[in-house]
Chain A
Amino acid sequence: MLEVQGIDAGYGPVQVLRGLSLDVRPGEITCLLGRNGAGKTTTMKAIMGLLPLGAGRITLAGEDIGRLPAHEVPRRGIGYIPQGRRLFAELTVAQNLEIGLMTRNSPRHVLTRVLDLFPRLADRMGQRAETLSGGEQQMLATARALCLEPRVLLLDEPTEGLQPSMIEAIRQVVIRLKSEGVAILLVEQRLDAVLSAADRVVFIENGQVRETADAADLRARPELLKRYLGV
């Protein structure tokens, strides 16, 4: 579905990604693991077209999207849940979702479906996003991305700073999307949260892919983790 082939990217003169390649398949959760500064968030931003590519290609179902203007990338069907949620803080829940719906001119029933997944948001439609609790903010960030009926979903540390019940709620939604055939790329620090849900794990270091492993293998042979992550 989403293929990243040998991309170089970075911030101005600072190159972060060096020939990074990975692919994200429909109905699978691909997890990006690596230490701080390895290039996980940079990979996400490069896919979203927020950083110029120095080399390489990014294709979505065969279409080259690596050199589209940033605002065209989500219109191809990529939903992005950025690190730290990045809600439009002064807008209401309804307005945040409206922006998600506007991205691809989603029909109205999409909103109903999204609110079915997150009933707590339905009660808070008129509330400003900045007044929500951390868990509700994460739900809103997820719901906003789902409003564009994504073929590919990028989640950057969705469980950061959340209480266990919220983490579980988010996890259930992600697993449900996977079963509906969405291709999911997940960045996560907490291994336990990842291993049980992921299909494949991509280890990155210094902006390059070190290893790609089946999550099932990692569950069976935890010593592999030690080799890749030193944990």
Chain B
Amino acid sequence: MEFGPHLMLAALEGAVTAAVLALMAAGLSLVFGVMRVVNVAHGEFYMLGAVLAFVVAGMAGGGAPGFVAALVAVPLIVAALAVAADRAVLRRLSYDPERTIVATIGILYILQQLALMGYGPDARPVAPPFNHRIALPWIDWGAGGPVLTWPWGLSITSYKLFVIGAAATVLAGLWLLMTRTRIGLVMRATQLDRETAQTFGIPVGRVYALVFGLGAGLAALAGVLIVPIQQAHYLMGGDALLLSFIVVIIGGLGSLPGTLIAAVLIGLSDGIISVFFSPTLAKIIATLLVALVLVFRPQGLMGKPAR
């Protein structure tokens, strides 16, 4: 394959990574923004999403109905689990920023080991509900002007397009939820001033539980979407957590548009650099980017400086 089509292919793979990453990082950013909790267990909610997708899809008989059942049920199950973790652990620590970091590290290991005990060390796939190969055209400049060609290997599957579309739809919905609804207004008021929110009748404890559940649900949704492409494994949360942190730091903590921009940036560069060089180099460059952002623009691309 020539360079141009090859680059396009890498960019498309990167777009799938970006879509999943944006979902996950949006959850992490939301939890940090509203609750000031750095949720180290966020990657495990993603892992649980993937692992439970395998379990639920199997119980529902596999195939397309199984996947749809997983897509609907798994984010809700994981969100409920996160709400329970919030009630049982985080609330008892009064959401203290430092102690919750240690507590979520504990939750990380509990979830990871439970997955190992219950699901085992194997990586298992879930069949995508549909998976048509869609060949993509490329424009070549021939002797007689531009010619449409169909390079061998330049293609994407319909499922990957679905992942990109689903992520975009969910993120748009999240944005509408935060900016256009009462519950979004309540969440933003809580984020801006927790104490004053209480003096206007906002039950901050319930808002926190909801936000923690929503954040975990987004991570789980990302996990369900990725499992037909990547397989479910009990250790898959680690890399996903690292990339989410990278995205959230570059984008600016608590900023949804910043998170989206950074997810596209990191997802595309990860896809392209992985294809042309190596996945390790992609991680090195992403981490270097974080270091540069922290030095030159600590609040991130779209974040606001601390007052």
Contacts and interface: CB of A to CB of B under 8 A. Distances in A.
20 contacts: A50-B198, A69-B203, A70-B198, A71-B198, A71-B201, A71-B202, A75-B201, A82-B196, A82-B199, A86-B193, A88-B189, A91-B185, A91-B188, A91-B189, A91-B192, A102-B182, A102-B185, A103-B201, A148-B200, A148-B201
Interface residues of B, number: 18
Contacts of B182: 98, 102
Given A88-B193, A91-B188, A80 B199 contact: yes
A99 interface: yes
**Prevailing SS type, chain B contact patch:** helix
B204 A88 contact: no
Nearest to B188: A91
Given A95-B185, A102-B182, A89 B192 contact: yes
A27 interface: no
Contacts, number: 62
Contacts of B200: 74, 99-100, 102-103, 144, 148
Q: Which 8 A-B pairs have the closest CB atoms?
A: A103-B201, A70-B198, A86-B196, A80-B199, A71-B203, A88-B192, A74-B201, A103-B200
Given A86-B193, A88-B192, A91-B189, A102 B201 contact: yes
A72 B204 CA distance: 11
B195 interface: yes
A214 interface: no
Interface of B: 182, 185-186, 188-189, 192-193, 195-205
Nearest to B307: A89
Contacts of A75: 201
Given A71-B204, A95-B185, A90 B192 contact: yes
Contact of A98 (B185, B193, B203, B204): B185
Nearest to A69: B203
Given A88-B193, A99-B189, A100-B200, 19 more contacts: A48-B199, A49-B198, A50-B195, A70-B198, A70-B204, A71-B198, A71-B204, A73-B199, A74-B199, A86-B196, A88-B188, A88-B192, A88-B196, A89-B192, A98-B182, A99-B200, A102-B182, A102-B200, A103-B201
B164 to A, nearest CB: 31
Nearest to B304: A90
A91 to B, nearest CB: 6
A95 B182 CA distance: 10
B197 to A, nearest CB: 8
A104 interface: yes
Contacts of B204: 70-71
A104 B200 CA distance: 9
A41 B201 CA distance: 19
A194 B166 CA distance: 60
Interface in A71-117: 71-75, 80, 82, 86, 88-91, 95, 98-100, 102-104
A50 B203 CA distance: 12
Nearest to A105: B201
A109 to B, nearest CB: 19
Interface string A46-82: 0011100000000000000000011111110000101
Interface string A132-144: 0000000000001
Contact of B199 (A50, A89, A90, A98): A50
Contacts of A102: 182, 185-186, 200-201
Most buried by A among B192, B195, B196: B196
A136 B195 CA distance: 22
